[in-house]
A = this chain, B = another copy of it.
């Protein structure tokens, strides 16, 4: 960008990827949103899969929630906070993702894996890779992993393990870089 010019904020909404009652991932999402909001270069908001207009009797673009589609279309990148359910992704996260297609192309996505066990949701992230690639998203390679998530927050949802602040910073640094690069590409480099 030419010197002196101000960058338009990167719009990076955060998808909270489970509707489960009592979900610990909500603490993670709230923490991460507050870290994102400290960065003037990012504009964000929460996309809660529990709040989307979906149905149990259809799937795909035909049941598209227009508010969801509007946000994805506008997005430069995405954060997905995703708990690991049986080594895979929550069904309703996928139900939501499948509502759009072209809206995702050439945008960045960063994964924040969450698990009650010791492996930080590492397996659900692997499980999501083929899906986001097919959607046209570019996954960054610096994940944020919450292991034993119940020990990382107190009952009020306040972070008790400060090492996640630095990890979130590294995660966001990489996501911001990739989001910037791809936005430049989408806006400036013509497809062949």
Cα(A48)–Cα(B88), bound, Å: 21
Asked whether any CB of chain B lies closer than 8 Å to the CB of A129, the reply is yes
Cα(A83)–Cα(B85), bound, Å: 20
Instruction: Report, as a range, how many residues of chain A touch the other chain.
Output: 35 or more
Contact A85 B98 (CB under 8 A): yes
Oligomer copy total: 4
Within 52-110 of A, Cβ neighbours of B (below 8 Å) are at 54-60, 62, 85-98, 101
Chain A residues proximal to chain B, CB less than 8 Å: 18-21, 50, 54-60, 62, 85-98, 101, 118-120, 122-123, 126-131, 133-136, 138-139, 141, 145, 147, 172-174, 176-178, 180-182, 184-185, 189, 191-192
Contact A123 B118 (CB under 8 A): no
Nearest CB in chain B to that of A131: its residue: B88
